[in-house]
Amino acid sequence: MFRPEEMVKLEVVTLTRFRDTLLTFLHEKGTVHIEEIPIEDIQKETPNEFYRKATSYSITISRLVDTLRSYLPPRSGGIKEFIFPKGKEKRSYKYRGIEALIKDVESFLSQVEPKIREIESEVTRISNEISNIKSSIEVLELLSALNIEVEYLKPGNFLNIEVGILEREKAEKAIKEITEATSGKVYVLRKDLGALSLLVVVTLKEDAGKITSILAKYGFEKVEIPGGKGFPKDLIPKYMDKLREKEDELERVRARGREIAEKYYEEVLFYKELMDNERDKANYLQYLVKTEMTFGLSGWVPKSKVDEIIEGIKKITQGKVYINIREPTEKEIENVPVKLRNPDFISQFEMLTEMYGVPKYNEIDPTPIMAFTYSFFFGFMLTDFMYGLLLGVISALLVKGHSKLRDGTWRFAKIMLWASAFTMILGIAFGSYFGNALDMIGIHVPRLMDSMKQAMDVLMIALAIGLAHLFTGYLLGFIVRWKNGDKKGAVFEQLPWLLIIIGITLYALSSKLEIPEIAFKGVFGLGLVLFAIGEVMSNGVMAMLLIISDFFGFVGNWLSYARLMALALATSGIALVINIMVQMIWGVKIGPVPLGILIGIVVFIGGHIFSTAINALGAFVHALRLHYVEFFGTFYSGEGRRFEPFAAKREVSRLEIEIGGE
């Protein structure tokens, strides 16, 4: 807690024949951050034939998964499915090496892929035929306006016939130009249809080229004459019958597709995951180095996992291995990947820290502090017991429903559980239960403070909280800089603000605690002097301008905490408006029917659910802002390098590895 997980450098050299099994072992453990070995003029590992096949099969099977998914019935979904998602069962695979795995995949694909491709091909063929029939029906509906048998609209041995549409305003010019180009040897049938004109242009074969060129110039869209004999209106029912037959055929093929999907989808998904993970392993081969008989890898491992990793490596290599474990050097400190380490009850807040950026290896992890302050700020801004209770119930259901998955929803819900607890506590302190609903029905609610009536007091509390929060940040910055050897930065960049905040606090308390004026003025003045010296040392001639800018920047950050009061008032205000609306319509009756009560209940429930949602969203965003902008700006860079382990992604598969077999 407060410090990232301790990391050590792992360096391994062993025989090439152990490479596949060793990489698979590390991949399944998921605790090593593999890095490129910085040695020049040494040969790098490259994917062999089987890893290249794994990459190819990963893409192929992904397409099969997409095809089969399109035939599966849609998932029920809904709120219940979101809150209590069904976990996926994992199927075990006994790993005997990449070569054996590829052979198993090829055997499976040889049975399943032709069946899927056949269905896919038939669906494509029938869909194209349906599309052509629909196009023919559209053309026949268009040609019905001419009342000419379709066989007479097709070109003959001596005549060329063009049938199509163009914009009505261009028709006259097009006809005139065609007549001139053919010296009058043309027959044009024209039918105006709104803004378009349907044309039938009959010319000699020898003039076909000229006619086509002229029509194209005017934007003529040619239509393909459907097959058949008779008038268009008589052919339409026949084509409709064809369409229904093809649609029935398509449905039969899709039914077969559903059967194949239900039979093979889970298995195809299983092999896809196996290939995806082999593909991921292949991407890391470039980080390895090799000689004719050996290969080497290097990476970072959490200190707590070292013994487990070393034991596994020795078993796989039968002791034929060189292993070196060492602490990071001073040059490497800046580049050590960072893995956050916090107790389970606050580990979910790492998600918020990581959204901003992880700390450097020699920095403080702000997650433990953020777990408390973020939840407190959220509760202060939402500040209603019933809103907190509603949020807490929803969060508890999500935590329970996603407990097996431990996904992002689960982590977010656990954060909201903390936030809802603080909301309820502060809701009791402010005496807010759906705003002032209890007061309006005559129930006296004890409260420490009324946010609507004592807004200035709430503002003073918010600013005091802001000072404490900023002081904590500058204090952490001072500790980190001093510990990392940057004593100059600690004294001239962090300490001044600590003294200034202490001076402001002493001034605020002076009237009540009878603190001498010289005390708070001396502390505040010393802070200003150190601040000014630091600005001169850092910025030289620009110091005078930056002193003013940076000081008022600090004041702006401090005043930003007034949003705690603003959002607390907004929550109370919206709740008050909802309650007044309900009070206004409560007594409305239509004859003996108490319509106002029914509408009032709907408005009360719906209004407060809306108020909970909109104010919780505001509290979530603004509590984050106070940390990311104001608090983190005092001490935290977030420029650390994230720990990204060489790790398998398993949702439907489980790998069983035989260790120590060769």
Q: What is the pLDDT of residues 401-414, one digit of tens each?
A: 999 888 999 999 99
In terms of C-beta density within 10 A (0-12 exposed, 13-18 middle, 19 or more buried), how is residue 78 classed?
Answer: exposed
pLDDT of 588 > 90? The answer is no
CA–CA dist 374, 354 (Å, integer)? 14
User: pLDDT at residue 42 above 60?
Assistant: yes
CA-nearest of 34, 22, 45 to 97 is 22
Q: Tell me which CATH code domain 136-237 carries.
A: 3.30.70.2750
- 72-86, 529-543, 605-619: least confident range: 72-86
Q: Which residues pair with 450 in a beta bridge?
A: none
Q: Do the beta carbons of residue 265 and residue 72 sit within 8 Å?
A: yes
What is the pLDDT at residue 34? 96
Distance in angstroms (rounded) separating the CA atoms of residues 347 and 287: 31
The predicted structure's pLDDT at residue 88 = 83
Whether the CB-CB separation of 201 and 211 falls below 8 Å is answered with: yes
Band (pLDDT 50/70/90 cuts) for residue 107 is: very high
Whether residue 373 contacts residue 348, with contact meaning beta carbons closer than 8 Å, is answered with no
Cα 254 to Cα 250: distance, rounded to the nearest angstrom? 6
Q: Give the integer Cα–Cα distance in Å for 448 and 59.
A: 63
How far is residue 450's CA from residue 569's CA, in Å, rounded to a whole number? 10
Please give the angle made by the CA atoms of 120, 121 and 124, to the nearest 5 degrees: 85
Contacts of residues 114-118 at CB distance under 8 Å and 24 or more positions apart, as own/partner, are 115/260, 115/264, 116/64, 116/67, 116/68, 116/260, 116/264
How far is 127 from 257, CA to CA, in rounded Å?
14
Distances (CA, A) of 128 to 119, 122, 250, 273, 391: 14, 10, 11, 33, 52
For 475-486, the pLDDT digits (tens) are 999 999 999 899
- Residue-level pLDDT at 661: 44
Q: What distance, in Å, lies between the first and last C-alpha atoms of the chain?
A: 42
Closest by Cα among 81, 619, 647, 651 to 382: 619
Look at residue 33 and tell me whether its pLDDT is greater than 60. yes
Region of poorest pLDDT, from 39-48, 330-339, 404-413, 593-602: 39-48
* Spatial distance between the Cα atoms of 323 and 274, rounded to a whole number of angstroms: 29
With the C-alpha atoms ordered 499, 503, 504, 509, is the resulting torsion angle positive or negative? positive
Place of tokens 């962090």: 494
Cα separation of 484 and 486, whole Å? 6
Backbone phi, psi, residue 324, to 5°: -125, 125
Q: What is the pLDDT of residue 146?
A: 86
d(CA 208, CA 200): 13
Over residues 54-62, mean pLDDT: 95
- Select, from the ranges 184-193, 226-235, 410-419, the one with the highest average predicted confidence (pLDDT): 410-419
Return d(Cα 93, Cα 110) in angstroms, integer: 19
Confidence of residue 662 (pLDDT cuts 50, 70, 90): very low
44 in helix, strand or coil? strand
Using DSSP's 3-state secondary structure scheme, residue 655 falls into: strand
Q: Give the residue among 426, 430, 409, 398 at the shortest CA–CA distance from 623.
A: 426
Residue 349 has pLDDT above 90, yes or no: yes
| Residue 572 to residue 419: CA distance in whole angstroms | 18
Mean pLDDT, residues 287-302 taken together = 94
- Is residue 283's pLDDT more than 90? yes
* Contacting residues for 361 by C-beta, under 8 A, at least 6 apart: 4, 7, 328, 333, 334, 336, 338, 640
β-strands 653-657, 91-95 pairing: parallel
| CB-count burial class (<10 Å; 0-12, 13-18, 19+) for 517 | exposed
Rounded Cα distance, 453 and 433, in Å: 16
The burial of 36, by beta-carbon neighbours within 10 Å (0-12 exposed, 13-18 middle, 19 or more buried), is given as middle
User: Where exactly are the structural domains of the chain?
Assistant: 7-98+258-338, 136-237, 347-641
Q: What is the number of alpha carbons within 13 Å of residue 573 lying toward its C-beta?
A: 10
3-class SS of residue 21: helix
Mean pLDDT of the chain: 92
Pairing mode, strands 641-642 and 337-338: parallel
Closest to 366 in 3D by CA, of 475, 495, 496, 492 = 475
Q: Which amino acid is at 535?
A: E
- Give residue 136's pLDDT: 93
What is the sign, positive or negative, of the torsion defined by CA atoms of 12, 14, 16, 21?
negative
With CA atoms as reference, report the closest residue to 11 among 40, 42, 41, 32: 32
Cβ 377 vs Cβ 616: under 8 Å: no
One-letter amino acid of 161: I
pLDDT of residue 659: 67
319-341 tens-digit pLDDT: 999 999 999 998 899 899 999 99
Arithmetic mean of pLDDT, 382-391 = 96
Containing H/E element for 614?
helix 595-625
For 585-602, what is the HEC assignment?
Answer: HCCCCECCECHHHHHHHH
